[in-house]
Structures are given as C-alpha cells and as structure tokens.
C-alpha cells in the first residue's frame, strides 16, 4: 500500500471511530453524576440527587461562608470567625460537604469526570459571584506533590480555569507552589500544625508581580479545616496581595458551627 492509500485508510478508520463514538453517545444518554440514573442533560444530577445536595445560600458569615440560621445584616461575621480570624478576607462555598457532594468531588478527582467539574464550576459561580466579579486574578490551590493513587489531575486548576473563562478573569497557576511537607502532622498541636503547613506553600519569586497590590481569588474543591487555604492566603498577603478571597465547591460544616436544618 502506498503512502496516500495508507493515509486514506487511516482517515476512514479515524472517521469511523468518531462516528462510532457519536452513536455510543446517542445510545447511552447522560447519567446523573452521583447515582448514574439517566438524566436529560450531561453534567447534571437527577431530581432526587439535586434534592440531597445542600446548597449554601445567604445569609452566610462574611468571613467563613458558613450559613447563618437567620439574617444578621450585610457583612455579619460569625463568632467562630471573630474568635479565630483566618488569613483570608472572605470565603464562599457552593454546597455543604456531605455524602452527596463528596461523590461529585470524587467523580472529578479520581475518575476524571469533566462533567462533574463543569457542574461544580457552575454552582461555584452562583455562590461566589460577587467575589469573582471583584477579583483581579484567579489562582488554584496547587496539587499535592505526592498523589498516592489516581492520576495527577489538578481539580482546583480545572475549576479555576472554568470560572476564569466564564467571567473573563485572569488565571494563573504559576504563582503558588506546594513544597514537600516538612514533617507529619500527627501528634502536633493546632499551633504547630499551622506552622508546619505554613512552610508547605510559597509564592514563586518571579510571579510576585501578578498578585502584588491585587485582589486574588483562591480556588479549591473543598474547604476542610481551612489550614491549606489559610496558608496560601498568608503567603500571598506576605507577598503583597491586597485582598484574598477563597471560593470552594464544598465546605465542611463542623457540628459546633450553626447552620440551617
Ligand atoms: Zn442521581
């Protein structure tokens, strides 16, 4: 077979593969990202999984983003934020972290399901609209250097890119760097833990100009203890960031914190 014939055989095969994939997409309708039941649109949930998802709506603590049981006025701050003020300015999350939202987070993190990321970004855009609107630059929390299982997929970077594209904001993944953890957190007091995690992140010296005097929006998938986002915010403020907000898909609500329901 000459080269031209081989080329055309190849392109017919490639076309066949593409066509085959379209047929499969047509025959296999989109599935709910949580329970895998059939749904009408890709990147969505079935009605009962939507009902299970606990969206975080106003009123919320202006600093921690935790829901208030009743409206306490614009900019109200929770006792938890007053007792232990974080290094960031404002945090917002789309949903409470629970079994339903955990499955969506894992779909993006470990199964590389981009549809889950699209849904997460959509809900984050809804929850964080004012913060996104006021941001000069969107920065993801850097990936763990050592991932024990799964592929090296930076879900925070994917979410940041989606949101920056949707709102026409600058996106930079070269500002923060995650170094190797200096020592295990086991057996450390909360103060020691904070100091330990503080050394994990650094602002790249050549990227200081992208955050100095600017409003930064830091993006991650889940806000758990706030130690990671807190140390990212701290190093960026030390490098001259004027303001640091945090936007995550899910927020772990501790039982001691007040919330609706
Ligand atoms: Zn479902």
Name the pLDDT band for 257 (thresholds 50, 70, 90).
very low
Domains by residue range for the chain, with CATH:
56-251 (3.40.50.2020)
Q: How far is the CA of 49 from the centre of ligand 1 (A)?
A: 4
> Could you read off the pLDDT of 169-186 as tens digits, one per residue?
999 999 999 887 556 666
Helix axes 155-167, 99-109, angle to 10 degrees: 90
pLDDT in tens, 203-216: 999 999 999 999 99
Give the closest residue to 42 by CA, choosing from 127, 118, 122, 121: 118
pLDDT per residue over 142-171, tens digit each?
986 555 445 567 889 999 999 999 999 999
Per-residue pLDDT tens digits for 202-249: 999 999 999 999 999 999 999 998 989 999 999 999 999 999 999 999
How far, in Å, CA of 63 to CA of 33, rounded?
31
Q: How far apart are the first and last CA of the chain?
A: 71
- Cα-to-centroid distance, 142 and ligand 1 (Å): 30
Q: How far is the CA of 79 from the centre of ligand 1 (A)?
A: 36
* CA–CA dist 222, 128 (Å, integer): 14
pLDDT at position 68 is 94
Does 199 score more than 50 pLDDT? yes
Task: Give the chain's mean pLDDT.
Answer: 85
Distance 177 CA to ligand 1 centre (A): 37
- 260 has pLDDT over 50: no
């Amino acid at each position: 077979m000459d080269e031209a014939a081989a080329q055309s055989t190849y392109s017919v095969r490639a076309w066949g593969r593409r066509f085959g994939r379209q047929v499969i997409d047509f025959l296999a309708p989109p599935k709910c990202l949580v329970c895998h039941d059939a749904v009408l649109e890709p990147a969505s949930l079935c009605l009962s999984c939507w009902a299970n998802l606990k969206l975080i709506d106003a009123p919320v603590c202006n600093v921690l983003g935790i829901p208030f049981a009743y409206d306490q006025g614009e900019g109200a701050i929770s006792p938890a934020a007053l007792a232990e003020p974080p290094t960031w300015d404002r945090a917002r999350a789309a949903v409470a972290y629970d079994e339903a939202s955990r499955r969506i987070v894992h779909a993006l993190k470990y199964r590389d399901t981009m549809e889950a990321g699209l849904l997460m970004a959509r809900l984050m855009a809804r929850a964080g609209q004012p913060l996104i609107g006021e941001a000069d630059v969107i920065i993801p929390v850097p990936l763990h250097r050592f991932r024990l299982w799964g592929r090296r997929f930076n879900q925070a970077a994917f979410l940041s890119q989606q949101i920056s594209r949707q709102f026409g904001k600058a996106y930079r993944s070269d500002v923060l760097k995650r170094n190797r953890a200096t020592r295990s957190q086991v057996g450390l007091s909360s103060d020691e833990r904070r100091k330990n995690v503080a050394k994990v992140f650094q602002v790249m010296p050549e990227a200081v100009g992208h955050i100095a005097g600017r409003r930064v929006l830091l993006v991650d998938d889940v806000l758990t203890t706030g130690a990671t986002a807190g140390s990212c915010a701290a190093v960026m403020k030390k490098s001259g960031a004027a303001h640091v907000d945090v936007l995550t898909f899910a927020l772990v609500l501790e039982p001691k914190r007040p919330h609706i329901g």
